[in-house]
Amino acid sequence: MTDRADQDAALVERYLQGEMAAFEELMAAHEDRVFGVCLRMLRDREAALDATQETFITVFRKADRFAGRSAFSTWLYRVAVNTCYDQARRTRRHPTDPLPESNDPADASAEDPFIAVELRPDLEAALAALPGEFRSAVVLADVQGLALQTVSEILDVPIGTVKSRVFRGRRLLATALGNLPGTSDPHIREANA
Amino acid sequence: MRRYDPDTIAALAEGRLDPERARELERAIAADPIAAAELADHRLALAATKGAPSPMLSVDERAGLRSAISSALGLEAPLRTTTGRAPRRVPWAAVTVAALSLVALVAAVPLANLLSTGEDAAAAPTFGAIEGYSTTDATLPSPSDTAALPTDGLDAPAAADFAGTEAATTTTTKDTIRVAAADPEERSLLLEAFDAASIPPDRAVEPDDDTPCVALGREDPGGTPLYTISFTAKDDATIVVFYTLAEDGSLGTAIGYDAIDCSVRVSYP
């Protein structure tokens, strides 16, 4: 186990013994990465914040279910990814009505969640063009830099499936990067179908 | 039929093959348009994703997240921001505490003259040396304010600089001390800022359990009473310094850590 994994395991142990500060440390250590994954999966800053919140609430309530067979971060990412999937499903099922227009000045930071945090709009647009299962695999493996075995545990799919998704995701991403603006590439249309 | 398996092409793109094998494979793949295109796609995607900046929560979002989680869980005491991997721009409590201490700046303990980073120390650091820099979330006293501050033990030249330079006026805006220890020039700025931030013993702030890196600070320099002060560096790293005073009120020992990973940035002796 890495130093970080050891630290996390110790923090979980302390938290389960009632030390709230340990949970705060876990949050501080992982919240940006969880948020980053959620933002790239959901492509909406508010939704990503909600998913990050849900993720840590779940972790808070269910930390005793963390068996320690894998790294805490692996378990945490798994909770986060599943939360994002749930949220995306709920959003598709119950699209929210747009709020009535107000006269408030536009919030520039809300116009593009990626530009607002100085990310690369071209990359984010290309990632957004990927089908969900490819996007999550590429985000976890290539953007977050996680080992394929870890991604396999997070996504709960065989490692061969992860490889396939990552490799195909890279091809789609490269195509999308080459085609922006607009993703008219047949690879992507086919994959999104 | 594929001549190259996807794992091999991915391994080549990721740089996981030994150089000789990589060169050999690269030459072979160049003659295969399909494999070459696949390799190019891998490389393009990897180049884009590897250097991608990471999204970060804003200070407000981080606070809102804690508030929402605390509320949803019905916690009696709301979750606090700690320093496990806090964003570099989050003003944690200790920054505020330390910054407030800067309000009482006088030159009783000229830290900069004594702190060493392994480089030549800044020559004759003065308050004027940090023109353009100012404190975090706090207002440095204007020259007129300094008259009300205790002057016992003031280092005369530094006190004169503090009270009489234009820099003292320019640093009364709310902002951040922009110092760093990444290169000699920045290190000298850091040292100068320490000098400018000399704090009288009776105004020194003791760290508490929320102070970043406090466990390390209590080990090294250790000693009691232990005091703390912090700055934001040019690279946005928050430097938290722990120091002790000698019996005569001069600096005893000091060590400055990057508040994020607690790596040592400056130390004395």
- Statement: residue B179 has pLDDT above 80: no
Chain B residues in contact with A122 (beta carbon < 8 A): 48
Look at residue B233 in the predicted model and tell me its pLDDT: 59
Look at residue A152 in the predicted model and tell me its pLDDT: 93
**Average pLDDT rounded to a whole number, residues B55-60:** 86
Distance in angstroms (rounded) separating the CA atoms of residues A135 and B11? 20
**Average pLDDT rounded to a whole number, residues B27-33:** 91
- Inter-chain CB proximity A57 and B69 less than 8 Å: yes
Which range of A110-119, B116-125, B222-231 scores highest in mean pLDDT? It is B222-231
Look at residue B239 in the predicted model and tell me its pLDDT: 73
User: Residue A23: which pLDDT band, with cuts at 50, 70 and 90?
Assistant: very high
**Residue B56 is which amino acid?**
M
Beta bridge partners of B253: B244
Chain B within 8 Å of A147 (Cβ-Cβ)? no
Among A119-133, B119-133, B215-229, the minimum mean pLDDT is found in B119-133
Scored b (16 or more CB within 10 A) or e, B50-85 reads: eebeebbbeeebbbebbebbbeeeeeeeebbbbbbb
Chain B within 8 Å of A185 (Cβ-Cβ)? no
**More confidently predicted of B225 and B69:** B69
User: Residue B121: which pLDDT band, with cuts at 50, 70 and 90?
Assistant: very low
Chain B within 8 Å of A61 (Cβ-Cβ)? yes
**Residue B106 is which amino acid?**
V
Chain A residues in contact with B52 (beta carbon < 8 A): 119-120, 123, 143
**More confidently predicted of A147 and B160:** A147
**More confidently predicted of A193 and B244:** B244
User: Residue B117: which pLDDT band, with cuts at 50, 70 and 90?
Assistant: very low
Among A159-168, B4-13, B129-138, B189-198, the minimum mean pLDDT is found in B129-138
Distance in angstroms (rounded) separating the CA atoms of residues A38 and A81? 7
User: Residue B79: which pLDDT band, with cuts at 50, 70 and 90?
Assistant: confident
Report the half-sphere exposure of A187 (CA within 13 A, side-chain side): 17
Look at residue A52 in the predicted model and tell me its pLDDT: 96
Look at residue B82 in the predicted model and tell me its pLDDT: 62
Look at residue B189 in the predicted model and tell me its pLDDT: 53
- Statement: residue A31 has pLDDT above 70: yes
User: Residue B45: which pLDDT band, with cuts at 50, 70 and 90?
Assistant: very high
- Statement: residue B230 has pLDDT above 50: yes
Among A28, B151, A128, which residue's Cα sits nearest to residue B141? Answer: B151
SS (H, E, C) chain A: CCHHHHHHHHHHHHHHCCCHHHHHHHHHHHHHHHHHHHHHHHCCHHHHHHHHHHHHHHHHHHHHHCCCCCCHHHHHHHHHHHHHHHHHHHHHHCCCCCCCCCCCCCCHHHHCHHHHCCCCHHHHHHHHCCCHHHHHHHHHHHHCCCCHHHHHHHHCCCHHHHHHHHHHHHHHHHHHHHHCCCCCCHHHHHHHC
Chain B residues in contact with A20 (beta carbon < 8 A): 75, 77, 79
Q: What is the ipTM of this complex?
A: 0.77
Interface test with A, best of B4, B9, B49 (most A CBs within 10 A): B49
**More confidently predicted of A148 and B92:** A148
Q: Is B122 exposed, middle or buried (0-12, 13-18, 19+ CB in 10 A)?
A: buried
**Other C-beta atoms lying within 10 Å of the C-beta of residue A82:** 17
Q: Write down the mean pLDDT value for chain B.
A: 61
User: How many percent of chain A have pLDDT more than 90?
Assistant: 50
Among A126-130, B10-14, B35-39, B129-133, the minimum mean pLDDT is found in B129-133
Question: Could you give phi then psi for residue B154, rounded to 5 degrees?
Answer: -65, 135
**Closest residue of A to B54, CA-based?**
A36
Chain B residues in contact with A39 (beta carbon < 8 A): 55
Look at residue A179 in the predicted model and tell me its pLDDT: 67
Contact B36, B5 (CB under 8 A): no
Question: Could you give phi then psi for residue B167, rounded to 5 degrees?
Answer: -60, -35
Look at residue B25 in the predicted model and tell me its pLDDT: 92
Look at residue A70 in the predicted model and tell me its pLDDT: 84
**More confidently predicted of B219 and A6:** A6
